[in-house]
Chains A and B, each alone.
Chain A
Amino acid sequence: MWGYIGKLLVVDLTWRTSRVIPVPQDWIQGFVGGKGFGVRLLTDMIPAKADPLGPDNVLAILTGPLTGTAAPAMRGCVVTKSPLTGMFNDSYFGGEFSPELKYAGYDGVIVRGVSDKPVYVTILDGEVRIDDAGDLWGLDTYQTYKVLKAKLGKDVRVACIGPAGENRVKFACVDCDPHRQAGRGGSGAVMGSKNLKAFAVRGRGLVRVLDQVKLSEAIAQARQAMRPHPAITELNEMGTVGGVGMAMEFGFFPIRNFGGDGYASTAEVGPPAHAARLWLRNKACFGCPIACGRMAVSRRGRYRGTIGDIVEYETLGMVGANLLVKDLEVLHYLNWLIDGLGLDSITTGACLAYAAEAKEKGLIGQADFPVSFGDSASVISGVEMIARREGLGNILAEGVAEASRRIEGHDGAFAVHIQGLETPAWDARGSAGLLASYLTGDRGGCHMRGFPVSYELAGKWRGKPVGDPVERAGKAPIAVWEQNQVAALDTLVSCDFTRPAVPIPVYCRMLEAVTGTALSEEEFYEVGERILNASRIFNLREGWTQTTRARLPGRFREPLSFGTAKGNCYTDEDVRLLLRDYNETRGWDAEGRPTPETLARLGLA
């Protein structure tokens, strides 16, 4: 078998056993890799309506056919039923864990059951073990790497949870390497619920490919497409914070729980300030020529000496602007802290901003939760209270939708989430295409499941004219097309950041050279479409309905207060029309359910 190893490792923590199953042929043919395998195995292995934090939930770390090769740039895919949204959840990390899993002899590791005490799973040179993690429990992610590498060797690759995952904070992440996170949707809480602290893996096997010459040519094509591309150059030179100027200009940046208009100038928080005050080493994930990461150290102030990775755009937006924290050394420390505790920085920022606004509105008292906009020290203690579920942190640890229900008695107007997932640092009022994508994304309101913004700003999509970002008409089909593309690339499991530059036929060529599977561009998109139909079927099975879940947060009914899109806001009628167009484009019924004809066309009937 080329590219694939052909084996999945299934670990049952209840019975402390492991076994190897072959990757089913129909998974490879219809679903290609990570995300697709994920939706299949969650559908097959999790009983309907299972408790996400109970023994019946399954968590898997999956790779793709190109993972472990030099194809730019493949990641690891963590799938589980989300404890935050109750929906299908896929989240991705770069770094070195997922290629190592293939070198160790597996396309993926699947965990089911629950251990009666803390354990970690090792897959070392062919041997699988489930070992006692009593001495690791309670450690932050950085300490966990240190202990495991001292014990098992510096060449092991580790994916682990921090205290937030142990405490089942519903947006705890799975951290890897360190500095890379499968951030969203709470897969870290699922590991915590299984008493599973970490995976450690090391392998000496080779990932072999079908056609070495053809692969070398296709990789060279991909790299050549990336080098001069402006989107890649921006990531290369500025990391993801390069997006901040544009986000402020157009009105995407989340300021003061998505309700304000004054944060900081780009001179204060833009890339040159990070470069001058924090960054040292340009850091890449495995096999990636971009290097959007920055190993950084703060040289002054209270948090002097903190070594961590770049303050990403999302963290700057959700923990910085959304809470009016603008001191870069403090944000660098918060970034380090959030990663060490094992939290998703997007949802953490959303929950803290919600709490700060709830306090201003008199819904909670200063004594309940001391977080205030612009008060860095209170934000730091708020993060720790969430991770440890202390005081009101215990309620915020449920995510913004549930916190709002408990504090206000209903899903409140300023609890900013869509489908239960806190929306990221891209305000949907900046783009109607983005709103369409948030309302329909298979893991909830997420910019990584389709980003029509680039086409709206360019005014062009596949050769056709597109209305400006706030224009509603014609946006749903772009969201559909974007989502299909992203799902197909997520099944490879490719990083989102190569996507603007590398043409789909080049990905197809790499896939064919590695595995022998020849897909046309159209068939490649169809793989994405098939996966998104399957994940919608999963979500419907788990109780998702369009009426109850595809809803506007109250905040997006209020006019946006800055940027080019200033004044834009949405109504239920906007949502109705976007969903109507979306469902028609997908071949789904008016309630967002795939029709039998659509399922038959995709081979899912």
Chain B
Amino acid sequence: MRPRLVFDPSLCTGCRICQLACSFRLHGGYNPATAPIGIEDRLEGLGAEATVCRQCARPYCLMVCPGKAVAAADGEVVVIDPDKCNGCGLCRDYCPWGGITIVERKAYKCDLCLGKPACVAECPTGALRLGEGS
């Protein structure tokens, strides 16, 4: 099983601090839409759902990538090699969880910040934590 982000919707306030932290780390600037984690309202805002990589056992992103830019070693997070990514967007188009964004012709997904996720560290309510399993 791979490590992954676990989300408790009942604790999420929709503040988007997770997305801000993520876009800041990945792109050096702020815009939640560029972060490969999203927070969507449910039930007219009474609830929320996170759209983020589930670290699938059989990652579709890896399966559809024409350039073999996606790697998934046993028990490790699924990662994209930016040098091999040509920004075609197939991984984004076929991720059922909305876990991939394309920014300036490169694909981005959650790599758990390689061990210490910024979103988990900055989430003010503990709605995000590090866990494992798809």
Beyond A70-B21, A155-B33, A284-B13, whether A206 also contacts B45 by CB under 8 A is no
Complex interface bits, A279-322 against B, C-beta within 8 A gives 1, otherwise 0: 01111111111010101010000000001000000000000000
B31 x A204 contact (CB < 8 A) = yes
- CB-CB under 8 A from B31, the residues of chain A are 68, 103, 203-207
How many whole Å from B124's CB to the nearest CB in chain A?
A: 4
How many whole Å from B25's CB to the nearest CB in chain A?
A: 10
Q: Give the contacts of B50-77 with A (CB-CB under 8 A).
A: none
Selected from B14, B17, B30, B125, the residue in CB contact (under 8 A) with A206 is: B30
- CB-CB under 8 A from A154, the residues of chain B are 40
Q: Interface majority SS on A: helix, strand, loop or mixed?
A: loop
Q: Give the contacts of B19-53 with A (CB-CB under 8 A).
A: 20-21, 23-24, 27-31, 33-34, 40, 43-48
| Separation of A212 and B115 alpha carbons in the complex (Å) | 21
Say whether B16 faces chain A, with CB atoms less than 8 Å apart.
yes
Residue pairs across A and B with CB atoms within 8 Å: the count is: 84
| Separation of A207 and B122 alpha carbons in the complex (Å) | 19
- CB-CB under 8 A from A578, the residues of chain B are none
- CB-CB under 8 A from A289, the residues of chain B are 15, 17, 124
- CB-CB under 8 A from B24, the residues of chain A are 70, 212, 216
Q: Which residue of B lies closest to A289 (CB)?
A: B124
- CB-CB under 8 A from A179, the residues of chain B are 45
Q: Which residue of A lies closest to B47 (CB)?
A: A281
- CB-CB under 8 A from A103, the residues of chain B are 31, 33
Say whether A209 faces chain B, with CB atoms less than 8 Å apart.
yes
Beyond A70-B20, A281-B47, A307-B46, whether A207 also contacts B13 by CB under 8 A is no
- CB-CB under 8 A from A203, the residues of chain B are 31, 33
A307 x B13 contact (CB < 8 A) = no
How many whole Å from A404's CB to the nearest CB in chain B?
A: 38
How many whole Å from A305's CB to the nearest CB in chain B?
A: 11
Q: Which residue of B lies closest to A69 (CB)?
A: B30
How many whole Å from A282's CB to the nearest CB in chain B?
A: 5
| Separation of A371 and B30 alpha carbons in the complex (Å) | 49
How many whole Å from A105's CB to the nearest CB in chain B?
A: 11
Selected from B28, B33, B45, the residue in CB contact (under 8 A) with A295 is: B45
A307 x B17 contact (CB < 8 A) = no
How many whole Å from B23's CB to the nearest CB in chain A?
A: 7
How many whole Å from B31's CB to the nearest CB in chain A?
A: 5
Say whether A129 faces chain B, with CB atoms less than 8 Å apart.
no
Say whether A566 faces chain B, with CB atoms less than 8 Å apart.
no
- CB-CB under 8 A from B45, the residues of chain A are 179, 281, 283, 295, 307
Say whether A208 faces chain B, with CB atoms less than 8 Å apart.
yes
- CB-CB under 8 A from B28, the residues of chain A are 206, 208, 212
Interface size on A, residues (CB 8 A): 35
- CB-CB under 8 A from B10, the residues of chain A are 281
B15 x A286 contact (CB < 8 A) = yes
- CB-CB under 8 A from B27, the residues of chain A are 206
| Separation of A283 and B14 alpha carbons in the complex (Å) | 6
| Separation of A103 and B30 alpha carbons in the complex (Å) | 8
- CB-CB under 8 A from B124, the residues of chain A are 223, 289, 291
How many whole Å from B40's CB to the nearest CB in chain A?
A: 8
B33 x A204 contact (CB < 8 A) = yes
A307 x B43 contact (CB < 8 A) = yes
Beyond A70-B20, A70-B30, A291-B125, whether A285 also contacts B15 by CB under 8 A is yes
- CB-CB under 8 A from A293, the residues of chain B are 13
Q: Give the contacts of A164-203 with B (CB-CB under 8 A).
A: 179, 202-203
| Separation of A68 and B33 alpha carbons in the complex (Å) | 12
Q: Which residue of B lies closest to A286 (CB)?
A: B16
A207 x B29 contact (CB < 8 A) = yes
- CB-CB under 8 A from B12, the residues of chain A are 281
Q: Which residue of A lies closest to B29 (CB)?
A: A206
Selected from A208, A216, A285, A297, the residue in CB contact (under 8 A) with B46 is: A297
| Separation of A216 and B23 alpha carbons in the complex (Å) | 13
| Separation of A406 and B127 alpha carbons in the complex (Å) | 54
| Separation of A429 and B21 alpha carbons in the complex (Å) | 45
- CB-CB under 8 A from A69, the residues of chain B are 20, 30
Q: Which residue of A lies closest to B43 (CB)?
A: A307
Q: Which residue of B lies closest to A177 (CB)?
A: B45
| Separation of A216 and B125 alpha carbons in the complex (Å) | 19
- CB-CB under 8 A from B15, the residues of chain A are 284-289, 291
B13 x A283 contact (CB < 8 A) = yes
How many whole Å from A307's CB to the nearest CB in chain B?
A: 5
How many whole Å from B101's CB to the nearest CB in chain A?
A: 10
Beyond A179-B45, A288-B15, A307-B45, whether A204 also contacts B20 by CB under 8 A is no
Task: Given contact pairs A155-B33, A205-B31, A283-B13, enumerate 9 new A-B contacts (beta carbons under 8 Å).
Answer: A206-B30, A207-B30, A281-B46, A281-B48, A286-B15, A287-B17, A291-B125, A307-B43, A307-B45
**Interface of A toward B, CB cutoff 8 Å:** 68-70, 96, 99, 103, 154-155, 179, 202-209, 212, 216, 223, 280-289, 291, 293, 295, 297, 307
* 26 residue pairs from A and B, CB less than 8 Å apart: A70-B20, A70-B24, A99-B30, A103-B31, A154-B40, A179-B45, A202-B33, A203-B33, A204-B31, A204-B33, A207-B31, A209-B29, A209-B30, A212-B24, A281-B46, A281-B47, A282-B13, A283-B45, A285-B15, A287-B15, A289-B15, A291-B15, A291-B124, A291-B125, A295-B46, A307-B46
